[in-house]
Amino acid sequence: MKILIEAQRIFREKKHGMDFVAIEYIKGLQRLGGDDIIYVAAMPGPDRLILEENENLKIIELKCPTYPLWEQVALPYLIRKIKPDVVHCTSNTAPLYCPAPLVVTLHDIIFLEKRSGSGGSLYQKLGWHYRRFIVPSILKRAARIVTVSEFEASRISETSGIERDKICTVYNAVSAHFRREQNYEEVTGRYIKEKNYIFFLGNTDPKKNSERVILAYAEYLKRSQERYPLLIADLSTDYIDEILKRNRIEEIRSKIYAPGYIRNSDLPFVYSGAIMFLYPSLRESFGIPQLEAMSCGTPVISSNTSAMPEITGGAALLTDPLSVESIANSILEMDHKPLRDTLISMGEERVKNFSWDKSAKVLSEIYHTIN
């Protein structure tokens, strides 16, 4: 069987969630072996060596000036040339014209739910509108839709009207390099001067709840005896300063460290050095960072909404992400070491339920049910 996997951005230097999922899909399928030939279509980039070709895996680099042109013009041309038995698009969108049976991974349906599309960066806004235009059409034409949790599978069916048996749940997992690191201070010292800290992985997407987290942290500082500093990844200092100024809490600035993007290879060390990990998102279809933190022995504060309870499985402290007070109270609870120790133990057990090899096997079975 010939399988073409779209993984447009996996070779870029600054990768994010969907990129890593696509990489792990591909590596897992490669480990399965068998007679299938997997073609990976991607944009050229500096991280080309992240995948190794062999008799079962072929990499095709496609150059194109924009994401839409790459997906809507270059990719269909490649599909006609290769004539695969199935095409798997891994990042929420796909060509409107796909001359082969299509599997599409729809990580979430947030962009089709009721919201204004405002907030976030210009790039995020453009992506939001592009997906709203493309996705309804491709969902009708797809042979199978893959998503990452039972919660999201139900939301996709309810929102789009697509029959539930066409939607397959394939859980995400944690990359092998996420493990507890004992000697982490050399790495964490690049990002924060202090040894004990709270870690928050945010960005400008409104669902990440960055402003409420910062407000809750300000409240925590008023009430805590520990007063751990806050390390924030993926938010600019200008963005943070704007929040502090708007809410008149500039006095906490000295307690916040904002180094910007933290390399994925450094994240296990950053998780391992953290007293706790904050992930009170407004909406997640899965939330891989929760499992990354658990795998590194870090207790997690998560949300009581969307797929978060399904994925954390009782191994995280759940909070109301819409309530600054609730988030602050959860951080204060996590100040206590016995609770942290309990959640660390539970988290390390919970993460064992997720495996990229298991996910790859499910994906392979999905491909083979189409032909």
Interhelix angle for 210-223 vs 237-246, to 10°? 60
In which residue ranges of the chain is pLDDT below 70?
114-124, 128, 371
Do 195 and 114 lie in one domain? The reply is no
User: pTM score, two decimals?
Assistant: 0.90
Same domain for 129 and 189, yes or no, is no
Mean pLDDT of the chain: 94
pLDDT at 122: 63
User: How far is the C-alpha of 63 from the C-alpha of 345, rounded, in Å?
Assistant: 46
Same domain, 244 and 160: no
Q: What is the pLDDT of residue 15?
A: 87
Co-location of 365 and 297 in the same domain: no
Residues 211, 341, single domain; the answer is yes
The tally of domains found in the chain comes to: 2
Instruction: Give residue-wise pLDDT tens across range 16-66.
Output: 889 999 999 999 999 998 899 999 999 999 999 999 999 999 999 999 999
What pLDDT shows up at residue 121? 64
| Residue 178: inside a domain | no
Task: Determine the length of the chain.
Answer: 371
| Residue 33 shares a structural domain with residue 167 | yes
* 190 and 110 assigned to the same domain: no
Q: What pLDDT shows up at residue 114? A: 61
How confident is the model over 93-116, as pLDDT tens digits? 999 999 999 999 999 888 777 654
What confidence score (pLDDT) does residue 76 get?
97
Residue 254's domain comprises 185-353
| Structural domain contains residue 180 | no
Examine the domain organization and report whether 66 and 124 are in the same domain: yes
User: Do 71 and 150 fall within a single domain?
Assistant: yes
Six token digits for residue 15: 């990768």
Q: What is residue 14's predicted lDDT score, i.e. its pLDDT?
A: 85
Say if residue 119 is in the same domain as residue 203. no
For residues 153 and 85, membership in a common domain is answered with: yes
**Could you read off the pLDDT of 346-362 as tens digits, one per residue?**
999 999 999 999 999 99
In a domain, 179, yes or no: no
Q: 336: exposed, middle or buried (C-beta count within 10 Å: 0-12, 13-18, 19+)?
A: exposed
Q: Report the CATH number that the domain containing residue 86 is assigned in CATH.
A: 3.40.50.2000
Same domain, 221 and 308: yes
